Chains A and B, each alone.
Chain A
């Protein structure tokens, strides 16, 4: 059955999205030529900080906002050129799960209408069957059929998100775009929803585009991961490959900021800089900014005890430089570079060199299945693996415990 699955079910080619800024002169380009494709029944994650354009990409794929350039095709059907009735005919095939449960349900509609409206719009089944189908959907997302007649404000946050998921499944879609589905929820409820999404994806055979700013959630939920920075897809790889050792300095910066194990954090900091002040004063995408209500920073599962907070000592720095020497690399000493118009858009890159400023890097596949937009991709991945190797070795553990 698997070979009949379409290799590239959702293909996005050279997608550009720009918003006319209020002042009217320069419009803000949120997505700059992003391209990826997702095989059928697979889940791809898009990770990035707010303003990286991940939500804009999701909205463009859903044809909720107009992309200024690029092509999107789902199951072979070209979506970008469709408009009006033709587009509406295709809409049931791809649905969306939104982030903020408080604003994604119509406060004046009861649960039964919320679920039957999509069915009515795409003409699924007869009017009499729809209430029965709605009851079934509620059961599948773990809500009792007695809540059919309730209004959204009579549900808790987690239950409202279950209703949002049920609505997305009402038209039996093949592709589901989930824009930060769990970010607005508490830790315990978040886990319930992630489990629910996982089981529904397998039962319904859904292809999912999963948007999140949270690396732990993406590693748990996605088969493939794409990292976005200021509108550009800077790295794409299967989850195992990416998290074993990323190949782009920005991904490392994201990782080092999300890691809560103090020892590893200091080790990563010596190589890839101490996390970066995202100096973007203007807020490009206010909605993404507002979407960051309850972010979750995952922790690095370590074998040794989590040590309490202390500052770095000389011995650790020496150990790291020693191990790098054996692996034949010299320490790429972190230098913060100021500005730079063309060339690599990662302005605060600690490893930036002259060439980075002049040539425009391209997303290249330096290893099978692993693409990165950095000239030093292979080098960074190798050195990163070495540091992670060292950090998880028991010797390093005692050292951090002692320090």
Chain B
């Protein structure tokens, strides 16, 4: 098991003092598999990723729960020990490729920096290894790319450079925080396929953070659906998409307009989408019991006060719902 997160609580600042942003989050990520953490904005998925990497912004802190990377408890590590793990045993790819690279440093140097810091290879071979990696992720003329600056790259190419920086110290875990949100549809597909290829070569586990349930299905073996800081449902991708066990997942799938091709396109467009009413309650104002209570069409009486525990709905498929 590469990553094991148990009962994680994270609190963040707000006008009325610290507020729970992530509540009792549990994740399990074996090697060479991909887990997608799916949720709307403001549900705490990015904060979870940053807490694993130890890069929580000021004002946020882990209040309880354990985060184990390769069996080692990260919350007990000191600042320097955690820093040594970053980049070496766990790496991260960010959302905005346009601003994620240092504009005044050549791309090559930003890659060799990782190789040298973690002593992946002696300084003499660093340049060649970086050029090889650039070619491996599909960039044409890697030598020229090595010595050019980030502003000469398109969004897709910069995201490939980010992938190189992530895998060059061959970490056990790669966290990708919405890697394709800021890219075009065609480029998105390629980056997701690139991630899959890198995983098959390096055997690393990938934690994919995304707000889009359907994009995750291309890459992810397992899905965890997050809503307002707590886990609603988790299970294999096919099971969650085809037989969603939690009303929120059902609502999400129903509300996204599906592309109908071929003969299906001819049978007319459905008038309205099955939208979920209301909006996501901000951290300070979440209901006591089930977080989805205020918007759930099939809410029961006791959903309001006590929080539902994960119930098994199929092989390795759980949902936190009383229904």
Residues of A within 8 A of B (CB): 49-50, 156, 158-159, 186-192, 194-195, 198-199, 213-217, 219-221, 239-240, 242-245, 253-260, 262, 264-265, 274-281, 283, 289, 292-301, 305-309, 385, 388-389, 391-392
Contacts and interface: CB of A to CB of B under 8 A. Distances in A.
A187 B256 contact: yes
Given A257-B188, A292-B183, A306-B238, A188 B257 contact: no
A260 B182 contact: no
Interface stretch (B82-90, B121-129, B212-220): B212-220
A294 B181 contact: yes
Contacts of B275: 188, 191-192, 194-195
A187 B275 CA distance: 9
Nearest to B282: A156
B80 interface: no
B196 interface: yes
Residue from A239, A296, A301, A391 having most chain B Cβ neighbours under 10 A: A296
Nearest to A301: B258
B154 interface: yes
Given A198-B271, A298-B257, A301-B260, A257 B214 contact: no
Nearest to A279: B154
B279 A289 contact: no
A384 to B, nearest CB: 9
Residue from A245, A259, A306, A309 having most chain B Cβ neighbours under 10 A: A309
Contacts of A188: 40, 251-252, 255, 275-276, 279-280
B242 interface: yes
Contacts, number: 207
A151 B188 CA distance: 36
B211 A191 contact: no
Residue from B154, B186, B252, B263 having most chain A Cβ neighbours under 10 A: B186
B104 interface: no
Given A278-B184, A299-B217, A216 B256 contact: yes
Given A191-B254, A199-B272, 14 more contacts: A49-B186, A50-B184, A216-B256, A240-B266, A243-B261, A260-B217, A277-B157, A281-B153, A281-B154, A298-B259, A308-B221, A309-B196, A388-B262, A391-B262
Contact of B263 (A186, A191, A244, A253): A244
B218 A262 contact: yes
A186 B280 contact: yes
A219 B259 contact: yes
The 5 closest A-B pairs by CB, nearest first: A388-B262, A191-B255, A191-B275, A243-B265, A220-B257
B274 interface: yes
14 contacts: A187-B212, A187-B255, A189-B40, A191-B273, A192-B276, A192-B277, A243-B260, A244-B265, A257-B188, A280-B154, A294-B41, A295-B181, A301-B264, A305-B242
B41 A292 contact: no
B1 interface: no
Interface string B234-250: 00111001100000000
A49 B262 contact: no
A251 B256 CA distance: 21
A175 B124 CA distance: 64
Given A189-B279, A255-B261, A292 B221 contact: no
